[in-house]
Structure 1
Amino acid sequence: MEKPLLEEPDEALDFSFVLASSVHDMKNSLGMLLHTLETMLVENPPENDAQRKTFSVLGYEASRINSELVQLLSLYRMQEKSLRVQVDEHFVLDTLEDQIDRNDVLFQARGLAVDVLCDPGLNWFYDNELVGGVINNVLVNGARYSRERLQVRATVEQGTLHIAIADDGEGYPQSMLNAPLEKNAGVSFSRGSTNLGLLFARKVAALHRAENRSGRIHLANGGPLGGGVLTLILP
């Protein structure tokens, strides 16, 4: 009598691994889609406001999904303790401009201006890929909620690096300001938010440590543009 094909009691299915592998494949496919969209926009710029709005939505949604997939993979690797943090010295302005350039097509489609305030000579020790991922996520979200402008500002305050990303939107909802770092924070179907970006930012910040201090994030409303401000603080 033949045994059932699925009877493998000694090899339980690791669903998290299967999910991570699937996410990786989706991320690669979406990356190709983003590249194709960017090429299309360069070769065929929008001719009117209706086309510009359509391209803006396509660019935002594709960038947001790609960013969330990268965050999911990173969080999975953090959980599995397989994520290597590569801290090195970097010029902060280079990191900021890399992420802004990465989303240039999105900003153009949305008609957004991005101001960068950073001393060209400012350097700091951090993992450029992880910190860049946090900045990219905030910029992509900012592109959705901003009206006309975004501001990225980097300063050193009391021996810590502060990278503040501000928008001129309506600001963060009170629920996020009250408990932005809760491990089991809920989702918002009306805003389409899972708080995954905040969790990723908090984890990345906490991975950066120096002299018994750990990195952190801070949310506020008001700011230089009157909207929301997320500040990444690194020791």
Structure 2
Amino acid sequence: MKNSLGMLLNTLSAMVEASPPKDAQQAKLFSTLEYEAARINGELVQLLSLYKMDEKTLAILIDEHHVIDIIEEQIARNYALLTSRDISVEVDCDSDLAWYFDSELLGGVLNNLVVNCARYCRERLLISASEDNGYLCISVADDGQGYPETMLLGPAPQASVSFNSGNTRLGLLFARKVLSLHKSKRGQGYMTIENGGPLGGGVLKLHLP
């Protein structure tokens, strides 16, 4: 399924390049097609990664990276989606800030956050990163309605599934698993969720030791 979706995305991209959209409405339709296919592909990758974690076969490649690079990579990856929805993204991160983490796994977590926030925010996203008490803190804030109360209570031992909304909270499970794989003498990675924040909506923070 993942390989077939990859071929679909490549074909769609080639089609759009060969026959550019004629107007804004068509451009939005093409963007929606690309977004939905990419979202399914991303969720399949998350499922495969979770399976490998459970089987203890997932390779963790932790190295030093500049944090600004991984943030800008995810923004560029979702440029079409953000543009089609008229969403502006502000980044607050020191260009010299570097940390140790698995760039592919953390990139997957950040990508999922950007995609989800783009779906629920009104017109603004703020991604910031800084050192906080020996941890790297990457914060993704939006100007939407905020997270539901059930998500603010923390991870439940058995999270419910909504067939009406299709919400399985797979992204949150994946994020928590990835963060827990990052460990040091200070502890292990974790995430926090709150409402309010600098843009008045939801704020999700990733903490890495």
After TM superposition, is the score higher than 0.5?
A: yes
Match of 2:141 among 152, 156, 166: 166
User: 1:221 maps to which residue?
Assistant: 195
**Unaligned ranges ≥5, structure 1:** 1-25
Of residues 20, 28, 33, the one that matches 1:44 is 20
Matches within 5 A, 1:42-191: 44-45=20-21, 47-48=23-24, 50-179=25-154, 181-191=155-165
Letter paired with 2:35: Y
Q: Deviations over 1:107-146 (max 9, x none)?
A: 1222211111110000000011110010011111111112
Name the CA shift for 1:157/1:223 in 2 (closer, same or farther; >3 Å): same
Shift of 1:36: 3.4
Task: Give a deviation string over 1:91-122, Cα, whole Å, max 9, x none.
Answer: 00011111111111111222211111110000
Quote the Cα distance in structure 2 between the aligned partners of 1:160 and 1:89. 14
Q: Secondary structure at the match of 1:163?
A: strand
Q: How many residue pairs get matched?
A: 208
For the residue of structure 2 that corresponds to 1:172, the secondary structure is: coil
Shift of 1:59: 3.2
> What TM-score, normalized by structure 1, do the two folds share?
0.82
Normalising by structure 2, we get a TM-score of: 0.92
- Three-state SS of the structure 2 residue aligned to 1:138 is helix
What do you get for the CA RMSD once the two structures are aligned?
1.7
Larger radius of gyration: 1
Alignment partner of 1:32 is 2:10 = no
For structure 2, the residue ranges without an aligned partner over 5 or more in a row are none
Cα separation, partners in 2 of 1:110 and 1:52, compared to 1, 3 Å: farther
1:18: which partner in 2? none
Query: Structure 1 residue 56: deviation in Å?
Result: 4.1
Counterpart amino acid of residue 156 in structure 2: E
Which residue, out of 166, 181, 188, partners 1:207? 181
